[in-house]
Amino acid sequence: MAHVTAKDLHEQFQLTLVSGEEGIGRHISVIDISRPGLEMAGYFTHYPSNRIQLLGKTELSFFELLEPNEKAERMLKLCAPDTPAIVVAHNHGVPEELIAASNQKSVPVFSTKTPTTRLYSQLTSFLERELAPTTAVHGVLVDIHGVGVLIIGKSGVGKSETALELVKRGHRLVADDCVEIRQEGEGMLIGAAPKLIEHLLEIRGLGIIDIMTLFGASAIRSNKRITLVIELEIWDATKSYDRLGIEEEKMSIIDTNITKLTVPVRPGRNLAVIIEVAAMNHRLKQMGMNAAEDFADRLDSVINSK
């Protein structure tokens, strides 16, 4: 999981630091954001103190109705030991009681002119992206006709060479050799290249080549959602390969199951064309058109008619 602090929040959204500067390095480990309306009313029994606390017009207008001693007490409780940050939205004034409590407890308090609802959405999107579960897979990720295809297989089987041929055919390279994958929401895997090897492709005999320099900016993209995995393996004459495509194999990455195809490699097979067609066929299946099932239905009809 990525490392996010209150300082990252400060820099990403250009927030104004009002108080509690000593806590600027506090870690943010929860994606959810809290709007502490009940807490302003004094109910702290189930206070989610480990979340970012977002104060808008509703919370602050109610806060102004409290007695002076209640204001100080509520803000001290709001600044819990594990509270990562408190953000006051829409240019609302930051209460003096909050400033005093945040300095005492070292909880950073930020203010911004962004409206509360919009800020809530922006913060959630940012945290979902940054705190998403991640992993790394040895393989190549290519965008083929809008389908993110992760090509895997043993070293030397021809993954990078196939990716180069796909780029020549007009498709886009995302990552070669190492694909960093993060899960953004349920069932959504986003793949990208590590910064060190971004745009680069390794071809045995040639070495490292820069795809963007050779083929232009249209030949690469920074990230892509993965919807299909293709495993390349050396042809095994003793193994039975799927010839109809009715049975669908799955591969688990993080908490998501992705459709996986196994393509045998041997001389004379144009892997780039096969993978290109596999991506288009996968897209058709997602649209409800399955050639293998249609063939099976026609075959059953012929058998039953006889």
Q: How far apart are CA 145 and CA 265, in angstroms?
A: 23
Q: Is 125 annotated as a binding residue?
A: no
Q: Is 239 annotated as a binding residue?
A: no
Q: Is 159 annotated as a binding residue?
A: yes
| 285 has catalytic annotation | no
| 113 has catalytic annotation | no
Q: Which residue is catalytic, options 35, 51, 74, 159?
A: 159
Query: How many other C-beta atoms are found inside a 10 Å radius of the C-beta of residue 8?
Result: 18
Q: Is 184 annotated as a binding residue?
A: no
Long-range contacts, 211-215 (Cβ 8 Å, 24+) = 211/167, 211/173, 215/167, 215/168
Q: Is 137 annotated as a binding residue?
A: no
Q: Is 154 annotated as a binding residue?
A: yes
Q: Which residue is catalytic, options 92, 177, 260, 285?
A: 177
Q: How far apart are CA 101 and CA 48, in angstroms?
A: 18
Q: How far apart are CA 4 and CA 26, in angstroms?
A: 9
Q: Is 157 annotated as a binding residue?
A: yes
| 176 has catalytic annotation | no
Residues 6+ apart with CB under 8 A from 231: 151, 152, 153, 260, 261, 262, 263
Q: Which residue is catalytic, options 46, 195, 239, 243?
A: 243
**Helices (H), ranges, the chain:** 6-12, 37-40, 57-63, 68-78, 96-105, 116-130, 159-168, 211-215, 271-286, 291-305
Residues 6+ apart with CB under 8 A from 261: 228, 229, 230, 231, 249, 278
Query: How many other C-beta atoms are found inside a 10 Å radius of the C-beta of residue 20?
Result: 25
Query: b/e string for 208-218 if b means 16 or more Cβ within 10 A?
Result: ebebeeebeee
| 177 has catalytic annotation | yes
Q: Which residue is catalytic, options 138, 168, 169, 298?
A: 138
Binding-site residues from annotation: 153-160, 202
Which residues define the annotated binding site for ATP? 153-160
Residues contributing to the annotated binding site for Mg(2+): 160, 202
Q: Which residues are catalytic?
A: 138, 159, 177, 243
